[in-house]
Each structure stands twice: as C-alpha cells, then as structure tokens.
Amino acid sequence: MKKFVYLLPFLLLTACVDDEKAIETESEPAEFVIEEREYADPPATSGYVPDFTTTDIEELPVEVLEELSVERPMSETVTTDEMREDIDTFLRAMRYGYGPYEFYGGDEAFLAAENELNKWIDSQDRPVSTLTFTGKLSDAYSFIKDQHFGIAGTQAYMKEVIPHSVEDWIFTKEGDTYFYEGEEVISVNGEDAEAYMKPSLGESGEEIYRTVSMSEDGAGQWTLETADDTYTAFSFQMTVKQDETDSLFDISETDEEIPVIRFGTFMFTEEQDFTFEDMFEAIDVIEDAPAAILDLRDNGGGLTGFGTRFVHELTGAPPSHSESVWLDTKTINLLMMERFKGRIEEGVIYKTFYEDYGLFLPDPNEEFQLPDESAAGIETFDTLWAGTDVEISESPSLETPLYILMNENSGSAAELLISDLLEYDQTTLMGTATRGMFTSDAGSLFYLPNSGISIHMPGSVIVSPYSFEREAIGIEPDIWLSGSDAMERMVEWVEEQHVE
C-alpha cells in the first residue's frame, strides 16, 4: 500500500541556477508517494528463552550479588587473577540476569568470548591498566548490539548505520524519473538512483526528494551522474536538532490551530513541574483535531508503561504486536531491586498506569523474596492482559492523522511508542532515523569486584516486527528531514494537507 498526498504545483529555485534555468513542475499536481513499510515476522520468541537446567554455568551466590550492586570506583590497574575473577563474575551475572542472553548466542557465544579473554589474560605477565582491560572486555562482547547494554557506561557495539545525505542536492520527480537542476538523474554513487531517493521537504515545506544512505559506508564523497554532467560532494550525517527551549512537555498549536504535543521524556522525577496526568491531556487534544504533531526529538525513553497507556487511551487497545522474554532468578531480582531503590532515592517516579497491570515494581520498604529456582518464560498480549479486567477494543483505530517528528536521539521507550503507533495507517513518521535501542530495557546496574567496571545489564528481550534486526539502526522516517528548522518545514507541510 502507498500513501498518496497531492499538493499544488510549486516552483523550485536553487541558489546556483540562473532564473531561466529554474525548474517548474507539471501543471497537474504531482504524487508525493510514501511507500508503506514492510516488516518481516521475527523468529519464534521461544528460541530466546533460556534453559537454566542445561547450563554448566552456576549462578552467583546471593552475598556476592549484594556486593556487586554497591557502587565502587574503578581501579587504576588489575592483575591477571583479578581479571579472571572479573570475567567469571561477568559471565555468571549475565547468564542469569541478561534478558537477551539467548538472543545473542547463549552459552556458545558467551563462553567463546570468555575463552578469548582468558587467552589474552594468559599472555600478560604484569598488571594492566583497567582502561585496557575495559577495552578488551568491550571488544570480546561487541557481538552484543543491544544499545541498553553497557560496559563502563559505553555500548560494547557502537552504532555504525547512520543516515547520510548531501544537503545541497535537491531533486524533483516526474513519473519514474528524478531530476537535479533540470537534468535527468542517471545514478548515485554508481548505483540505481531509486535506492537513494527519499521523500523530503524544502525550506518552505515544499515536497522534494533527497538522497539518503543508511549503509555503513555512507560517509565520504558521493558522485551524482546526470544525463548532462557528473557532480561530486561530501555527505553529512542527518540530524534533527531540538529547539533551543528544549521543553520536556508542552501542548501548543500552529498558526492554523494544528496541535503540537511535545514529549521530551518518559522518565519522571519529583523535580519536574508536570505529571503523567498532564501528559495524558494530549489525548483529548489529538482526538479533537483535524491532525496533530507529536514531537519526540531527543526523547531518550523512560517508562514504557506510559506509552502503553497513551496508545491504549488513544486507539482503544494497548500494544499487541510484541512479545517479550522474562527471567525470574536471584540475579535479576536482587540487582533490579537494588536498581529501583537507588533510582527512587534519586527522585525517579515509577508507575504502572494500571491497577492490575503485572509489572515488577517492588516495594522498597518491604522485604523482597528471592525465587528458590531460576525460571524464564514468554509474555504475550494474551498472558499480559488476561484477568486484568482492562477494557480492550476489538477494533482499535487511530482517527486523527498523527505526524511524529523524531531524531537520532529518540530511543528506548520513545521508539516503542513509535512502533506501537505504526500499527495505524494514520501515522506518518518525519525526521531522521531513531537511535535503535528497543529490543531490551534499561535493566540493572552492577560493578565488577576488582576493576570496578560498571555493567548495565538489561533484564528482558522484546521481540517485535518493528524492532527485529533494527537494533543499533533505528526506525526510519517516511519523510526525511534534517537541520534546526525541521519543525517549521513540517508544520508548513502538515497545514497544507489539513487546512482549507
């Protein structure tokens, strides 16, 4: 399926072209075509459920786990024996506390990484700097693309797929042919131009096309071949900057009364001057409008439950397309409990948004019972909502056209919200590709006993057609925008669609 949007013809002028060479479009409105996304079904979630009865890796004792949760400074150096103890501790904690453990290869992959580390340690005849050890640890586990997983505050796998474009190359389209300054486009970087061409908006919101690459080698010099000439230019990383005000929450409207809802975070603290209830007021605003803009730029996430309830109230049903793997072990329960306690002391507010919603939210004032046996399973839409008496529509729908502005810093819970809204044809994504950190959660935090290296360890894995194989890549927009004036161009275009 394709979305067709018809605009009045426009005159495209470029700074480097004389007036007599200005390009005028056809007298008939041109079709601005947004291809419908296709998502492959991910593999069965059952393949990612760990079996704790078949592993030779033993869970760490409770007293050791309690010590790991205590923050400590990084040492300057570590001995070979200290490194061996640290990597053994790391493996055992990950085996029983890392949700995507099987997703990234299970015992085979993690033991192979540990063996490589031990070989390197055996080659050392003196203590090494902890920074060197940190680098080796990150290299060994760089097969983990999970962007929530961190070693010493940094992802083991650094994001490589970043959108690039050439800012000055602006294209129009007639039929199946693209034109650059009136010249028919033959190829981009020696390849079929169609693979690069993406819908975009000009300075006044006019519809144009830009060349965009999401490949790992998108940076560097690009070559554009037309029927008349060959052009070269260096590409730039596409970014969408947030406004200088940097508001975390706001409900405003454009000059033509199109509402603009700003959600800058889903992480709530006692210091903020707005509440969950304030943000839910945006639902009525959206429902009463001919169209609405949802600004998720620089929203790094927070409570996914907020997005679940927001989509539920807006469409009639909570998200239903994803499944997740849960763990119930001493490791994850103890470390998550300590993590919750620490964040609550820092002023972070946790909330389920449903009275009977089955979230793990321990009461820090009560003694927490650890499980006797390690277990794991799958959580689906049916198992999550069964017996909750939560009203769910049999035919959920999004009536108001919703335009989402996102950027390279939109991640985690914000990406899950975007994924949930992709269920509806009325959703259009604009901006640039998101961060790509939405197959796990923020999880727990622990420290290796000798080096003091911090480990951020997500506790679950989320399997969804929208996130599968998109980790460290992100969700791509329907209409690509970059720069500090992305919102202004977006507003011009949205008003053109919905204001008579």
Average pLDDT over residues 294-315: 96
Closest CA to 165 of 477, 471, 482, 488: 482
Q: What is the mean pLDDT of residues 71-84?
A: 98
In this predicted structure, the answer to whether residue 30 has a pLDDT above a threshold of 60 is no
Asked if residue 14 has pLDDT above 60, the reply is no
> How sure is the predictor about 366, in pLDDT bands with cuts at 50, 70 and 90?
low
Q: State which residues form the domain around 233.
A: 2-36+164-237
How many domains does the structure of the chain reveal? 1
- Does 201 map to a domain? yes
| Residue 86 counted as domain residue | no
Position 175 in a domain:
yes
Q: Would the pLDDT of 203 be above 70? A: yes
Give 38-59 pLDDT, tens digit per residue: 888 899 999 999 999 999 999 9
Does residue 30 lie within any of the structural domains? Answer: yes
List CB contacts of 146: < 8 A, sequence separation 6 or more.
Answer: 100, 104, 155, 157, 437, 439, 440, 458, 471
Q: Is residue 9 part of a domain?
A: yes
pLDDT of residue 243: 75
Report the amino acid identity of residue 151. I
Q: Six-digit token pair at 10? A: 């426009």
Q: Which two tokens stand for residue 197?
A: 């061409």
Residue 35, pLDDT score? 77
Task: Write down the pLDDT at residue 168.
Answer: 94
The answer to the question of residue 355 being in a domain is no
Tell me the per-residue pLDDT of 453-495, one tens digit each, with 9 for 90 and over: 999 999 999 999 998 999 999 999 999 999 999 999 999 999 9
Tell me, yes or no, whether 353 lies in a domain: no
How does pLDDT run across 378-391, given as a tens digit for each residue? 999 999 888 888 99
Which one is predicted more confidently, 259 or 363? 259
Domain-located, residue 480: no
Condensed to tens digits (0 to 9), the pLDDT of residues 117-164 reads 999 999 999 999 999 999 999 999 999 999 999 999 999 998 889 999
- Region 351-374 average pLDDT: 72
Nearby residues of 394 by Cβ (< 8 Å), 6 or more positions away? none
C-alpha 73/C-alpha 68 separation (Å) is 12
How far apart CA 329 and CA 383 sit, in angstroms, is: 20
Rounded CA-CA distance 248/100 in Å is 31
Q: Which alpha helices (DSSP H) does 358-412 contain, by range?
A: 381-385
Task: State residue 157's pLDDT score.
Answer: 93
Report d(CA 2, CA 57) in Å as an integer.
51
Average the pLDDT over 288-309 and give the result: 96
* Amino acid identity at 317: A
Report the chain's mean pLDDT, rounded to a whole number: 90
Predicted confidence band of residue 4 (pLDDT cuts 50, 70, 90): very low
Q: Are 302 and 266 in contact (CB under 8 A)?
A: yes
Coil, helix or strand for 486?
Answer: helix
Residue 233's identity, in one-letter code, is A
Residue 283 gets the label, from left (phi > 0), alpha (psi -120 to 50) or beta, of alpha
- The token pair at 435 is 């961060």
pLDDT score of 15: 36
